């Protein structure tokens, strides 16, 4: 069974070496001690969310913290290319389902997109709360999938902002049911940002598609069926991983 992973303080983990002591406290310490019930002698991971993962063995556990001895330290390199999921806001929790699965599949950044046909609208206090909820979903999924490097949760974008990102990306792929080019045949660049753009339930409008393609995006299809907004992005990431990181 894979060891549990907890998030630790980046500054505290920066200087640790095998044989040193690492302490989990605060919310993560309480979760490890009272919910997961880490026991003395049990091994677990502590990650900083920036690529450093520490293997530790618990030496002291109380109700609010876990103190462990560091057995190993691994620093994961920054990924190249970076996979960025631009996920249109969707009703229910479908956009959250998408970013959860995408995190498990190794996405490096998730970007909320206020598309023209998005039923959900983030404004005012709701925008801040919704973005915080996305960040929480990404955090939980990162821990569940034992990721040392947590995806970035970016601020929402509108069409002009998204067009700007397309212009600076190494490759932008727009998932579209009418596209002719299959995603499975796309060559993945070795570096830079690879954007995967997913529309809302009503799809991407003609105006949006034209603007994105004019900026350099390519419309691609996944297959003969139409996927939900919650599953299209993760499916595309699986294809891209199979052509690059999983080989």
Beta-bridge mates of residue 72: 55
Reported confidence tier of residue 83, pLDDT bands at 50, 70, 90: very high
Question: Residue 152: what pLDDT?
Answer: 95
pLDDT band at 92 (very low <50, low <70, confident <90, very high): confident
> Which CATH code of 3.30.830.10, 3.20.20.140, 3.40.1280.10, 3.40.50.2300 fits the domain covering 82-242?
3.40.1280.10
Residues pairing with 173 in the sheet: 196, 218
Predicted pLDDT at 125: 85
Q: Would you call 194 exposed, middle or buried from its count of C-beta atoms within 10 A (0-12, 13-18, 19+)?
A: buried
pLDDT at residue number 100: 97
Please give the pLDDT value at position 213. Answer: 98
pTM (2 d.p.): 0.93
Distance CA 56, CA 8 (A): 12
> What is the secondary structure of 125-178 as a DSSP string?
HHHHHHHHHHHHHHHHHHHHTT-SBPPEEPPPB-HHHHHHHHHHSSEEEEE-TT
The confidence score (pLDDT) of residue 61 equals 96
pLDDT of residue 126: 85
Specify which residues 46 forms β-bridges with.
6, 54
How many whole angstroms separate alpha carbon 185 and alpha carbon 145? 28
Sequence ranges of the domains in the chain: 5-75, 82-242
Q: Are 6 and 38 in contact (CB under 8 A)?
A: no
pLDDT of the residue at 32: 95
The residue with greater pLDDT, 176 or 2, is 176
Interval 163-184 mean pLDDT:
96
Q: Mean pLDDT across the stretch 11-25? A: 94
Q: Looking at residues 28-41, what average pLDDT do you find?
A: 95
pLDDT at 1 over 70: no
Task: Report the distance separating Cα 112 and Cα 134, nearest Å.
Answer: 9
Task: Using pLDDT thresholds of 50, 70 and 90, give the confidence band for residue 123.
Answer: confident
- Pair 40, 61: CB distance under 8 Å: yes
User: Cα(228)–Cα(207) distance, rounded to whole angstroms?
Assistant: 21
Whole-angstrom distance, CA of residue 223 vs CA of residue 14:
44
Whether 206 has a pLDDT exceeding 90, the answer reads: yes
CATH superfamily of 5-75: Hypothetical PUA domain-like; domain 1 (2.40.240.20)
Per the DSSP assignment, residues forming a β-bridge with 43 are 57
Q: Average pLDDT for residues 58-70, to the nearest whole number? A: 95
Q: What is the pLDDT of residue 65?
A: 94
Identify the band that residue 164 occupies on the pLDDT scale cut at 50, 70 and 90. very high
**Strands 66-75 vs 52-61: parallel, antiparallel or unpaired:** antiparallel
Mean pLDDT within 75-92: 94
């Amino acid at each position: 069974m894979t060891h549990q992973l907890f998030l630790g303080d980046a500054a505290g983990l920066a200087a640790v070496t095998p044989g040193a002591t690492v302490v989990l406290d605060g919310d993560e310490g309480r979760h490890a001690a009272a919910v997961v019930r880490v026991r003395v002698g049990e091994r677990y991971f502590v990650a900083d969310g920036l690529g450093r993962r520490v293997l530790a063995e618990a030496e002291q556990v109380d109700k609010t913290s876990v103190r462990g001895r560091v057995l190993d330290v691994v620093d994961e390199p920054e990924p190249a290319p970076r996979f960025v999921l631009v996920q249109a806001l969707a009703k229910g929790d479908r956009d959250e389902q998408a970013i959860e699965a995408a995190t498990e599949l190794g996405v490096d950044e998730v970007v909320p997109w206020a598309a023209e046909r998005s039923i959900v609208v983030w404004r005012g206090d709701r925008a801040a709360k919704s973005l915080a909820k996305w960040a929480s979903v990404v955090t939980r999924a990162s821990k569940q999938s034992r990721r040392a490097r947590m995806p970035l949760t970016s601020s929402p974008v509108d069409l002009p902002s998204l067009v700007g990102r397309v212009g600076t990306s190494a490759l932008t792929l727009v998932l579209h049911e009418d596209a002719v080019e299959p995603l499975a045949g796309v060559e993945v660049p070795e570096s830079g940002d690879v954007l995967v753009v997913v529309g809302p339930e009503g799809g991407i409008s003609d105006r949006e598609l034209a603007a994105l393609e004019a900026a350099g995006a390519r419309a691609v299809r996944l297959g003969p069926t139409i996927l939900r907004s919650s599953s299209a992005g993760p499916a595309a990431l699986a294809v891209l991983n199979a052509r690059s990181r999983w080989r």
